[in-house]
Amino acid sequence: MRRCYLLLALTGFALNCLGQNASDWSKVADLEKQREEKPQAGENAVEFYAGRKKALHDAAADFLQKHPDDPNAASALLWKIDNTDFSGPAEQRTAALADLSTETDAFLKAHPQSAASETQLRETLLYCYLDNDDLIHTPQQAGDLAAKIGQFLANHPQVENRTKLQIVQSSMLLREDQAKGIAFLEQLSKDSNPELAEAAKAALTKARLIGTKLDLSFVDSQGRPVDLNQLAGKVVLIDFWASWCPDCAREMPQVQQVYKAFESKGFAILGVSLDKDRRAMDNYIAKHLIPWPQYFDGKGWKNDLVTKYSVHEIPEMWIINKKGVVETTSADVTQLASTVQRLVAE
């Protein structure tokens, strides 16, 4: 989700091939062009792009190491950051983020860039942190990331994706302190930018769902009616996801483990798929033996439920308690088992 804008923005860098470095750069540029290829209908996007991303990352890293002073070094760093593999364990991803941050700071200090180029580098790095927000386990960590977003926006006020980042900043503030997050959203809802004001109002609606009863019903992808009211007495997880989402794929095994452990004790899951390709979704579900109902309308980020509930990043997991009341709209997969265990016992 978050990378869709960034992949378009990368083309803003000047791509120069000079002297003896031209051959090395040509290899990197050729690999970058392969990123424009699209998977066939029904093919899993995560698997399709994994090899391409690794090849481009490794080639860009190699070029950067060999030619740090080349005019294309900034583009190489950008592609290295954007194609870093974050599918590993938490410790590995935390270390990778720290290394990329250190490398970016050092590169920009040694090789000052234009304002536009520096913005793209730092924004791409920031999105890496946002793509790994499952590493956040405490209110303090959420507040730190909110501050990081705020500092980036202060330093780069003309960034194109400003509205999106401010809404994500609000989600971090909500995780730090509900009252602080709501106050921030109320301020944004009065902004002179109508796009930001409307997005903030939608986010406020979702934030105020906490502690209220959710009324949700739909017809699932198999044509079966689903009504949250019929699940009264059960703890329900609502999982916003997509088969093309790497973070969703990384978390899915943990979600399945929790389902297997607590399904017989009164735990249910409802999926909301942001896929546009019905066959790709069905193939993923069949391959990974996912048994719970799925809402699918083929609209991607324009999905009716995604729009209604102001979902701006996936995976996003909501937990509904036995009374049908919303416990959280930002469940942490690493704490999912303990949360469900507590709620089914109530």
Over residues 85-135, the pLDDT tens digits come to 998 899 999 999 999 999 999 999 999 999 999 999 999 999 999 989 889
* Cβ(268)–Cβ(292) below 8 Å: yes
CA distance 321 to 327: 6
Q: What is the pLDDT of residue 19?
A: 58
Task: Say which residue, 267 or 1, is predicted with more confidence.
Answer: 267
Q: Is the pLDDT of residue 334 over 70?
A: yes
Report which residue type is found at 192. Answer: S
May I ask the CATH class of domain 3-207?
mainly alpha
Three-state secondary structure call for residue 227: strand
Q: In the structure, what pLDDT confidence band is assigned to residue 46 with cuts at 50, 70 and 90?
A: confident
> Which two tokens mark 31?
């690999």
Q: Phi and psi for 307 in degrees, rounded to 5?
A: -65, -45
CA distance 25 to 40: 29
Cα 3 off chain centre by: 8
Q: What is the pLDDT of residue 8?
A: 37
Q: In the structure, what pLDDT confidence band is assigned to residue 269 with cuts at 50, 70 and 90?
A: very high
The C-alpha angle 67, 73, 74, rounded to 5 degrees, equals 160
* Cβ(275)–Cβ(242) below 8 Å: yes
Q: What fold is seen in the domain 217-345?
A: Glutaredoxin (3.40.30)
Q: What is the pLDDT of residues 271-322, one digit of tens each?
A: 999 999 999 999 999 999 999 999 999 999 999 999 999 898 899 999 999 9
Classify residue 207 by burial, with Cβ atoms within 10 Å: 0-12, 13-18, 19+. buried
Nearest alpha carbon to residue 257 among 284, 290, 229, 234:
290
Task: Say which residue, 9 or 276, is predicted with more confidence.
Answer: 276
Q: Is the pLDDT of residue 11 over 60?
A: no
List every span in the chain annotated with CATH 1.25.40. 3-207
CA atoms within 13 A on the CB side of 112: 1
List every span in the chain annotated with CATH 3.40.30.10. 217-345
> Which two tokens mark 316?
């996003």
CA distance 144 to 173: 9
Three-state secondary structure call for residue 136: coil
How many residues can be counted in the chain? 346
Q: Is the pLDDT of residue 16 over 70?
A: no
Q: What is the pLDDT of residue 6?
A: 33
CA distance 117 to 10: 9
Cα 310 off chain centre by: 14
Nearest alpha carbon to residue 287 among 252, 245, 333:
252
Nearest alpha carbon to residue 78 among 32, 37, 124:
124
Four-residue CA torsion sign, 39, 44, 49, 54 = negative
Average pLDDT of the chain is 92
Cβ-based neighbours of 32, under 8 Å, separated by 6 or more? 56, 79
Q: What is the pLDDT of residue 310?
A: 85
Q: In the structure, what pLDDT confidence band is assigned to residue 41 with cuts at 50, 70 and 90?
A: confident
CA distance 19 to 4: 33
Q: What is the pLDDT of residue 167?
A: 94
Q: What is the pLDDT of residues 222-261, one digit of tens each?
A: 999 999 999 999 999 999 999 999 999 999 999 999 999 9
CA distance 302 to 272: 12
Q: What is the mean pLDDT of residues 139-145?
A: 96
CA distance 181 to 186: 9
